[in-house]
Amino acid sequence: MGANAADSPVEGWLGSLIVVVHRWLDVFFEWAMWFLIALIAIPAVTGGVALIGDRSQLVTARVWADRPVLLQAAGLANQWSNGTPSSDADALLTELVGSDWFVDQVLTDSAVGFKILGSDQKAQQRLAMRQSFKHGTIGDHVLQVSYVTDRPAVGSGLLNSVIIRLGDSIETLDSIQTTAAVGLLDSQVAEARATMQKALADATAYAAGKSLTQLLDDAHYLTLQADALAATNYYVSLDRQAHQAHLAQSALPSIRDSTFRVMDPPSVSPKQIDLRSPAIKYSMEALAGVAVLEFVIIYVIGLRDPRVRSGEEVRKKLGVPYLGSTPDLRSAA
Amino acid sequence: MVVTKLGPSSWRDALDGATAGVLAPHGYALKPRESLGQPDLDRIFLERCREAFAKLNRTVGQGVIAVVSPHRSEGRSSVAAGLALSLVQDLERQVLLVDLDLRRPGQGVLFDVNDSPGMVEYLENDAPLRLTAGGMSRRLWLLTAGATTGDHVARMAHLVAHSEFFAACRQSFGWTVVDLPPLLETSEASYLAGLADACVLVGRYRRSSIHALSRAVALIPNDRPTGFVLTGNQSRVPAWINRLI
């Protein structure tokens, strides 16, 4: 065409891109209301249906966790953690749930016929258990465990098993730690005893054949005497500590109730909607699906719809200068 | 009998005679026997038509502007009327609006005047050429299409195309805006567009297809300055985004 472009439009690939982007935007804003309604309504309906259809219930239990006072008195506390008793138990539970050994024990206790399942089915059960089981701390001493299930009785059994197994593990861990510490103390006591006996023997041997008056003025004897006294004091101190440790070790099974006990036994809690609940999960999936679908619709219409949506488009495709646009008139002839 | 009317002098006499019948020498109305009504075109619409003409006017000084569209109902007649009205407002010259869509004339309805008698009656009968004045200072003149049957349309269009009508318009009026029939639906529109000094191609937002516009552009002679006007623009893209891109 002979006329020049009236304005100074963007040329080249950028101009083409702008025209295409404008088409997409125009399609979007043409249907924006419906897109928005779909974006809200479909996920909401999906989530609602999932919520109604979701028959799962949340079984929750709370456990009191503490450290044995005897271990602290014997200098054996905090051997494996600097956290609070509940966080220690929580951390230990995290590690235990990550192990197949622990999960298998729990499932064997609570799920009928778990032992006879094939390896694939066992793996599925383990995965389901890990996905449904949650735990966390409340304050320094309370550990909360919960399990999502559509069979509350099974959930209660599973939580009971988890609590018992966790208590056993904590007791075993304490026992192992204490035994190791007691063994170390015993060896130190034996060594101190030998040192003490040698020092006493040295002093006694040196004093043989000498009068008390001579010995009181003998600097070497006084040194040997002081060494023997120090070795004796050290031995006595270690022996006392070892005695305390032995007491603590033997008391561990009997003090379990004071260090790890069930506060609230497993019970069904009101259903809570969190980010991992099926309603939210399906809503998010529906939201993403609708958003993707809308993008595809906009993209396809923008590319395939032959109707003109801007004057710049005509200028770009047909080379006809764009003079402007007029608003809609009801009586356009 | 008809042929004698189609020379440039005859057309010019007819046009001058039609305007002189109601105008005093200084150009103001003397006997407004019939007057154009106010078309239902709002201020924004006219402003956009004025802007469109301003852009087109950079390449065309004066003469005949043909307003065309690929199909009907794309806003062609409204744009032609809007262009004519904005020209009258901006320029101190007489402007003629001609409705050459003989099959389905629209300007009579738009300006609230009878289509007949018009171009057809002038060509076929001995009726005098009827022009109706209106617009600012009555400088806008409307030549309606007249009444005809489908059989005669092609012949009438042929007569106009092969007469000196456009030449006479150039002599008697500062600007002439011609409302042509749809390019893709009639055979005469393309030829008539070629006789104009410039063309305004009209396409309707979300109705005209780019393929139809492409075919319409192909029917306009290449040497004819042409611009595109998008009508019925209802784009909901926010203005700030439009400015951004």
- Domain-located, residue B42: yes
Low-confidence spans in chain A with pLDDT less than 50:
1-7, 331-333
Among A26, A29, A306, the residue with its CB nearest the CB of B210 is: A306
For A141, the token pair is 């001493």
Protein fold of A55-269: Bacterial polysaccharide co-polymerase-like (3.30.1890)
Q: Is the dihedral of CA B32, B37, B41, B44 positive or negative?
A: positive
Residue pair A298/A24 in contact by the 8 Å Cβ criterion? yes
pLDDT (0 to 100) of residue A171: 81
What lies within 8 Å, CB to CB, of A16 at 6+ separation is A316
Q: So where are chain A's domains?
A: 12-52+278-318, 55-269
pLDDT (0 to 100) of residue B23: 44
Contact with chain B for residue A254, Cβ under 8 A? no
Please report how the helices A311-318 and A12-30 are oriented relative to each other, as an axis angle in degrees rounded to 10.
140
State the pLDDT confidence band at B59, using cuts at 50, 70 and 90: low
List the one residue out of A85, A13, A7 whose CA is nearest residue A323. A7
- Domain count within chain B: 1
The DSSP H or E segment spanning B55 is helix B43-56
- Domain-located, residue B229: yes
pLDDT (0 to 100) of residue A307: 94
pLDDT (0 to 100) of residue A80: 52
Contact with chain B for residue A8, Cβ under 8 A? no
Contact with chain B for residue A333, Cβ under 8 A? yes
Of the residues B44, B100, B206, B230, the best mutation for testing chain A's interface (the one with the most A CB atoms within 10 Å of its CB) is B230
- Domain-located, residue B245: no
- CA atoms within 13 Å, Cβ hemisphere of B16: 11
Distance between CA atoms of B243 and A29, rounded to whole angstroms? 16
Instruction: Name the minimum distance, in Å, from the CA of B48 to any CA of chain A.
Output: 6
Residues 26-45 of A with CB under 8 A from B: 26, 29-30, 32
For A106, the token pair is 């729990």
Boundaries of domain holding B114: 3-233
pLDDT (0 to 100) of residue A107: 92
> Closest residue of B to A301, CA-based?
B206
- pLDDT tens, residue by residue, B200-222: 999 999 999 999 999 999 999 88
- pLDDT tens, residue by residue, B78-97: 999 999 999 888 877 889 99
User: What residues of chain A lie within 8 A of the CB of B201, using their CB?
Assistant: 320
Contact (CB<8Å) B76/A326: no
> Closest residue of A to B233, CA-based?
A327
pLDDT (0 to 100) of residue B8: 56
Size of interface A-B (CB pairs under 8 A): 172
Contact (CB<8Å) A321/B79: no
- Domain-located, residue B11: yes
> Closest residue of A to B236, CA-based?
A29
> Closest residue of A to B107, CA-based?
A333
> Closest residue of B to A26, CA-based?
B237
User: What residues of chain B lie within 8 A of the CB of A313, using their CB?
Assistant: 210
What lies within 8 Å, CB to CB, of A22 at 6+ separation is A309, A310, A312, A313, B237, B242, B245
CATH number, position B14: 3.40.50.300
Instruction: Name the minimum distance, in Å, from the CA of B201 to any CA of chain A.
Output: 9
Percent of chain B with pLDDT over 70: 88
- Domain-located, residue B177: yes
State the pLDDT confidence band at B129, using cuts at 50, 70 and 90: confident
Instruction: Name the minimum distance, in Å, from the CA of B24 to any CA of chain A.
Output: 34
**Chain mean pLDDT for chain B:** 84
What mean pLDDT do residues B183-194 have? 91
pLDDT (0 to 100) of residue B4: 44
State the pLDDT confidence band at B5, using cuts at 50, 70 and 90: low
For the entire predicted model, the pTM comes to 0.65
User: What residues of chain A lie within 8 A of the CB of B206, using their CB?
Assistant: 30, 307-309
Q: Where are the alpha helices (DSSP H) in A208-266?
A: 212-216, 219-251, 256-259
pLDDT (0 to 100) of residue A276: 72
Residue A279: count of CB within 10 angstroms of its CB: 19
User: What residues of chain B lie within 8 A of the CB of A307, using their CB?
Assistant: 206-210
Of the residues A23, A313, A326, the best mutation for testing chain B's interface (the one with the most B CB atoms within 10 Å of its CB) is A326
Please report how the helices A100-110 and A119-132 are oriented relative to each other, as an axis angle in degrees rounded to 10.
90
pLDDT (0 to 100) of residue A35: 95
Please report how the helices A219-251 and A152-207 are oriented relative to each other, as an axis angle in degrees rounded to 10.
160
**Chain mean pLDDT for chain A:** 86
